[in-house]
Structure 1
Amino acid sequence: MLTIFRGAEIYTMNNGNTVLSNADLWIKDGKIIKAGTNTDIPSDARIENVAGMVITPGLIDIHTHVGIWGEIDEHVNDACEYSEPFTPLMDAIDGINTNHFSFQLARKGGVTTIQTGTGSANPIGGVWSILKTGGSSLEDMLIVKRSGLKGALGENPKNVFGQSYNKTPLTRMGVAQIIRDGFQQAVNLSAGERTTHMAERTELSPFIEVLEGKMPLHLHCHRADDIATAIRIAKEFNIQLSLEHCTEGHLMLDAIKESGASVTLGPFMLPSTKYETRNSTPAAPKLFHDAGIPFAIMTDHPFIPIHYLILCAAEAVKFGLNEMDALRSITSEAARRVGIQDRVGSIEAGKDADFVIWSRHPFDSRSNILATYINGNEAYVKKG
């Protein structure tokens, strides 16, 4: 059935960042048919009156551990395989619990798409996935099953394995060498050997996928020297790199821009519990924007609860980022960072009907999320 949401202010987040006033959003069979003003309404359409309300695309958080981090009890934390520092065969889909309350929080916060998976204890931790935050099953929710190989630099792997287990890696040099070893072994394979490793799903198979451009390498990095190491490794092996957190990236903007790496910034609103995050600042998005470096903003759920993604973007606005650029960083630009912009991230004909209805502008502190829709279905509605 055709459903028309009538009379809203619609932030399309399309290439022109078009904002439509007193506009209609047409939805049918889980897809957006069109968004516009002065539309002729078919007699058989179901009408939803949203006059005076605001509609945005569903929010997108491309760095989370939703559904895989225990949160309440570390004994049920499936985000990190602590047995070894090198665990490339860990797949997010084997650890995600779609009934976990973090999915409910996401929908409550207007977040309709996430990237989730292993944490950052391991130099090489496993493979991430991208999925919707609502659906009948994990398979139904999946957008990209294998969206990147996750690794980590800096204090996390050093402290977990070097300090706690007294085993390699004890140093930043050791962390980098473990990451390099995986790629070097894969590079040394012949074409036939690569085919065999992929067929047998060996520990080198994810590295082969990265080397062949089938997915990027996501590297957790806070300190400037760790960011430089990530860029160096990516250049050595000619691979697609995503800098995760990139906390001191504002200290080396030229090098990041030249590298062409994808950037996901945050979270900002945390105490400096690590020495390497002492230079964290919500001014970073404005600095990246002014340098001409595209980025997404993330929560790193559960470290900032995912329903506060909009507040993370609003915090960047307080520190000088334009409101439209901030909103784009958690919608269309986030989708573009992970290559799913053909399906989600903006309100355009043919895209998935993922959208949020707000009582006011999303960055107004008084604004409430009235409803969240995923594939045209109501996934959350505010009670009362």
Structure 2
Amino acid sequence: MLAIQGGIVYTAVSGVLQGATILIDKNKIIDVGHHVPIPHNAQIISAEGKSVTPGLVDCHTHLGIAEEAAGDAHLDKNEVNDPVCPHLRAIDGINPEDPGLHDAYSSGTTTIIVTPGSENVIGGQSVAIKTYGNIVDNMVVRQPAGLKMAFGENPIKMYMNKNKPPSTRMSIAGMIRENIIKAQSYDKNYRAGNVDRNLRLEAIVMMLNKEIPLRAHAHAADDIMTAIRIAEEFDLILTIEHATAGHKVAEELAKRNIAATIGPSITARVKVELKDRTYQTPALLHQAGVKIALITDHPFLPVSSLRLEAALAIREGLPRDIAMKAITQNAADIIGVGDRIGSIEKGKDADLAIFDGDPFAISTQIEHVFINGQSVFPN
């Protein structure tokens, strides 16, 4: 049993508790508060004067499938020979020895989504994992965690010179609709015993049955609206990934209760879709009533920069408590595991980070990280 005592506890659900104690048994938080009885045999870690947060959550990365310092042999995030690959699973490409995973947990990020890239119209299935471990199957939090589809520039750039569609945004939307219709027909015929199992269409059926969401890569406002149009046409759960110009259609997202994962904001306007990039987007979407999370899109922005994304959003008007939720509880909810991770409360996984100061200050150092109640940093 472990007690983290006397810290400034950022619960992410019930405010900040000054001088509180967190009691952990095995892999779960069993109590948190100011008057928590500590068993005589508990290990005690003093957090007096320090900040204790939930383990941070980054709900859009390519960790493990776009490995750092590994070259093309380990660049597995896009299957660039077929624009429609719903049967691909990110879990099958993850190398848990990617040094980026060490960067994640050593900077306080304890849970991530690993998603296929955005060079295909339908890129494949995302997976949510804890960031510490040597066997990816033992790290899984949710599998699959969504079906990745990409709107806008990236699929067009990849395929227009390969003599394959898509070469227009119309083609992207048409290909998505076409494959959804095929999946609807397949589902009916498979349940009737008339066709053999088809892994490509089976993945789309999971999305149609609302077992997993459509995770739509969409930067520009018009592409966001196309994703919404398709989601409404087929009654899908939709999350907008990146949402660079999401502030332009904030009210449309809010009235449909569509969440947005925003980022990476710390980037130049290297393509047309990023022309509306602003650090104000998180605040503007929150003000409109949109549930938001902040993401790094690692390796496009290093995963260790997640707190920096939050700090810049705070500077531009995002309330501090919402910034904390955007990298903890909100992100966990968007993944679909908010009942298990994302906050410091009784019954949650014991994923925690201890900082020597304000968690949003650039100069703050991380001192300790726990995943499932296990100390993983320093190690």
The size of the alignment, in residue pairs, is 378
CA distance in 2, matches of 1:288, 1:376: 34
The equivalent of 1:120 in structure 2 is: 118
User: Which deviations, in whole Å up to 9, do the C-alpha atoms of 1:335-362 show, x marking residues without a partner?
Assistant: 1112201110001111100000000010
The equivalent of 1:5 in structure 2 is: 4
Contact kept? 1:92, 1:126, Cα under 8 Å? yes
Contact kept? 2:7, 2:18, Cα under 8 Å? yes
Moved over 6 A (4+): none
The equivalent of 1:286 in structure 2 is: 283
Gaps of 5+ in 2: none
The equivalent of 2:25 in structure 1 is: 28
The equivalent of 2:53 in structure 1 is: 56
Q: Against the structure 1 CA distance between its residues 190 and 279, is the aligned structure 2 distance closer, same or farther, given a 3 Å change threshold? A: closer
The equivalent of 1:107 in structure 2 is: 105
User: Which deviations, in whole Å up to 9, do the C-alpha atoms of 1:319-375 show, x marking residues without a partner?
Assistant: 111111101100011111122011100011111000000000101222101111100
1:33-52 equivalent positions in 2, closer than 5 A: 33-52=30-49
CA distance in 1, matches of 2:119, 2:187: 31
CA distance in 1, matches of 2:172, 2:72: 24
The equivalent of 1:232 in structure 2 is: 229
What letter is aligned with 2:136? L
Q: Against the structure 1 CA distance between its residues 363 and 259, is the aligned structure 2 distance closer, same or farther, given a 3 Å change threshold? A: same
State the SS of the aligned residue for 2:370.
strand
Question: What is the TM-score when the length of structure 2 is the normalising length?
Answer: 0.96
1:186-265 equivalent positions in 2, closer than 5 A: 186-189=183-186, 191-194=188-191, 200-265=197-262
Contact kept? 1:344, 1:351, Cα under 8 Å? yes
CA distance in 1, matches of 2:184, 2:256: 21
State the SS of the aligned residue for 1:159.
helix
1:44-193 equivalent positions in 2, closer than 5 A: 44-72=41-69, 73-163=71-161, 165-189=162-186, 191-193=188-190
Contact kept? 1:197, 1:205, Cα under 8 Å? no
Deviation at 1:74, TM superposition (A): 3.0
Deviation at 1:76, TM superposition (A): 2.2
User: Which deviations, in whole Å up to 9, do the C-alpha atoms of 1:45-94 show, x marking residues without a partner?
Assistant: 11112211110000000000011113432342000001111111110111
What letter is aligned with 1:85? P
Residue of 286, 303, 307 corresponding to 1:306: 303
Contact kept? 2:23, 2:36, Cα under 8 Å? no
CA distance in 1, matches of 2:38, 2:268: 52
User: Which deviations, in whole Å up to 9, do the C-alpha atoms of 1:100-157 show, x marking residues without a partner?
Assistant: 1110010121000000121000000100000100135212110111111101011100
What letter is aligned with 1:128? S
1:361-372 equivalent positions in 2, closer than 5 A: 361-372=358-369
Aligned-pair Cα RMSD in Å = 1.6
Deviation at 1:195, TM superposition (A): 6.8
What letter is aligned with 1:130? A
Q: Against the structure 1 CA distance between its residues 195 and 29, is the aligned structure 2 distance closer, same or farther, given a 3 Å change threshold? A: farther
Deviation at 1:305, TM superposition (A): 0.3
Deviation at 1:167, TM superposition (A): 1.9
Question: What is the TM-score when the length of structure 1 is the normalising length?
Answer: 0.95
Give the share of equivalent positions with the same residue, in percent: 38
